Structure 1
């Protein structure tokens, strides 16, 4: 249990902060916002409710801190030499993040009617919007450079970038090998582009056989 406090003039223990946020993230994903208990979070984190409240005065503030931590963890600084490889890199980074334990459940939590609207707005602004902005920037750059058709529907393509992942998960379908490259390739061709020479992944793997009609 935590013995130091800010009230005693001692520095706040960042290890306890990180432990609380990790536990709170699991509870938020598992139980939803309405079901998350600060007492249960404190107990599992090995600290006290008083210590938790000194850091975050309520459930909304703690949940917002979880979202902020996720945003920092997911922040990408991807350098690529052309829009197609940027798109593949972004989808690869998305796959890495969304595959982490509890991430899909957290997405479901954000869609629940009982989730605090401000928390949902924070999640959209801190986690969803930056990813969408980077994906759209790659597609817009490709269109400006003439790699995609001038009338390419980037609004729909943007949704398909990550929506394809969620659709497969909801259907219980396994994610195919080389998902980022194959998804980027399909979108690129659908938008009137030609896959750049040498853009294939180092060890491309064949996809699963098609299901019978």
Structure 2
């Protein structure tokens, strides 16, 4: 019998190797929780989330593709919303390099890394899921914490370095500057436009100039 949390059938997915059976929140009958199931289910759920959003996320379809059972999934996450939150929480970020001493160049490089992250993580699809009308506040908060805020911290560090080096004004609306850096991506996404190769430098130059700096020619 379908679970009350289940939407209609999910899109066809590639075959996935069946993972070993395992149960429970931490242990079941003295056996440790099978973390391989967790990893596989969350990877599959994240792909389904990008394709169908939270409302189209089917626990049954995720379990089938992951090679496990609905019961095993529901023992870990009580429904599709909790599964979506956990899946978004698995999104990782690369480790930024040490500052080069040129804060503007570092900002351009950070935006270029952000562009790669958006493309590789399909962050545009996740943003539509997390920020659209009717999105669950918990999903929105998880997206903010695991996708948006880590990048804001990196941009903040670049701008702070510019201030410390005397290249930027000490008094500027840097919170707004951070929003403009990520907001440029969102604006492109809303219009359905790709982020072009020169996007990083153009965006960095616009914000840098607004904060009193001179981007110059590179």
Fold-level similarity (TM above 0.5) = yes
Deviations along 1:129-171, whole A, 9 cap, x unmatched? 2221221232133123310134433233212212212222332
Alignment counterpart, residue 74 of structure 1, candidates 93, 96, 100 = 93
Alignment counterpart, residue 45 of structure 1, candidates 48, 66, 84 = 66
Deviations along 1:85-108, whole A, 9 cap, x unmatched? 331232122111111254211101
Distance 1:121 1:74, change over 3 A: same
User: Is 1:3 the counterpart of 2:21 in the alignment?
Assistant: yes
- Normalising to structure 2: TM-score of the pair? 0.77
Alignment counterpart, residue 181 of structure 2, candidates 161, 165, 174 = 161
User: 1:11, CA displacement in angstroms?
Assistant: 4.2
Does the Cα contact within 8 Å between 2:115 and 2:195 map onto a contact in 1? no
Name the structure 2 match of 1:207.
Answer: none
Distance 1:186 1:168, change over 3 A: same
User: Is 1:105 the counterpart of 2:96 in the alignment?
Assistant: no
- Normalising to structure 1: TM-score of the pair? 0.78
Does the Cα contact within 8 Å between 1:84 and 1:196 map onto a contact in 2? no
For residues 56-95 of structure 1, the aligned pairs below 5 Å read 56-70=77-91, 73-74=92-93, 76-82=95-101, 83-95=103-115
Name the structure 2 match of 1:33.
Answer: 54
CA RMSD in angstroms, aligned pairs only: 2.5
The alignment partner of 2:53 has SS state of helix
Residues of 2 paired with 1:33 and 1:148: CA distance? 42
The alignment partner of 1:134 has SS state of helix
Number of residues paired by the alignment? 196
Question: Which stretches in structure 2 are left out of the alignment for 5+ residues?
Answer: 1-17
Distance 1:114 1:27, change over 3 A: farther
The alignment partner of 1:33 has SS state of coil
Distance 1:4 1:191, change over 3 A: closer
Name the structure 2 match of 1:185.
Answer: 205
The alignment partner of 1:87 has SS state of helix
Between Structure 1 and Structure 2, the one with more helix by share is 1
Residues of 1 paired with 2:188 and 2:51: CA distance? 21
Residues of 1 paired with 2:132 and 2:193: CA distance? 23
Residues of 1 paired with 2:108 and 2:98: CA distance? 11
Residues of 2 paired with 1:196 and 1:9: CA distance? 64
Does the Cα contact within 8 Å between 1:26 and 1:102 map onto a contact in 2? no
Question: Which stretches in structure 1 are left out of the alignment for 5+ residues?
Answer: 201-213
Does the Cα contact within 8 Å between 1:30 and 1:102 map onto a contact in 2? no
